[in-house]
Structure 1
Amino acid sequence: MRTTVRIVKTPDVLHGKPRIEGTRVGVFQIGTLVREQEWFVEDAAAQFDLDVSQIRAAVEYYDEHPELMETLRAQVEARQQSIREP
């Protein structure tokens, strides 16, 4: 039996950022690893103890929402910058 992997956003988990349903693993985190750092889908699945189908769903969502991913990237960079500043 095949189950559908859902990407969800809920305000009380990961500050409302998209994630794989039933986990606290964010789409941005997975997409960045697979698309930008060139991780294999299977390696990401093993790292996060997820199914390959969950990783693929996250990467698909990442690819289909480039504007949102750029917003999330800007937030991460701003947060990192604020930590570096005295």
Structure 2
Amino acid sequence: MSTTDADPDDTPDGETPRVVQTDDVLGGRPRLEGRRVGVYTLYSRSADGERTPRELAEAYDLSVAEVHTALAYAAANPDQMASIAERSGAPTDAGERIVRPDE
């Protein structure tokens, strides 16, 4: 199967996607293993309603499972996402925060 015929729901290697952090890639910010796509990038484009997980998968050449893994990580680590947003100079509303799925 060529990459253009790949199912966007499948991961490239059939493995469960993982979020990793390494000092030498993306400045140590969390990202999908084997990718240079940061969790915060996917979160911010999803959270503002800009794109659906499937659209993000297509735009970044990821599987939908990888996008969902990144979004779950962002939801589980709201303080880290807020810190990344602050360091990147991303505009935020004073009352805005990341809401965990269990809240």
Q: 1:36 and 2:48 equivalent? A: yes
Larger helix fraction of residues: 1
| Whole-angstrom distance in 2 between the partners of 1:56 and 1:38 | 16
Which residue is 1:26 aligned to? 38
- Counterpart residue type for residue 63 of structure 1: A
- Counterpart residue type for residue 59 of structure 1: L
The CA deviation at 1:38 is: 4.0
Q: 1:12 and 2:28 equivalent? A: no
Q: 1:76 and 2:95 equivalent? A: no
- Counterpart residue type for residue 46 of structure 2: V
| Whole-angstrom distance in 1 between the partners of 2:68 and 2:62 | 10
Q: Gaps spanning 5+ residues in structure 2: where?
A: 1-12, 91-103
Q: Gaps spanning 5+ residues in structure 1: where?
A: 79-86
Which residue is 1:67 aligned to? 79
The TM-score normalised by the length of structure 1 is 0.85
| Whole-angstrom distance in 2 between the partners of 1:63 and 1:36 | 14
| Whole-angstrom distance in 1 between the partners of 2:70 and 2:39 | 5
Larger displacement relative to structure 2 (68-77 or 29-38) = 29-38
Larger displacement relative to structure 2 (30-39 or 67-76) = 30-39
Q: How does 1:42-57 map to 2 (within 5 A)?
A: 42-57=54-69
Larger displacement relative to structure 2 (69-78 or 5-14) = 69-78
The CA deviation at 1:2 is: 4.8
Alpha-carbon RMSD across the aligned residues, in angstroms, is 1.6
Q: Equivalent pairs: percent with the same residue?
A: 33
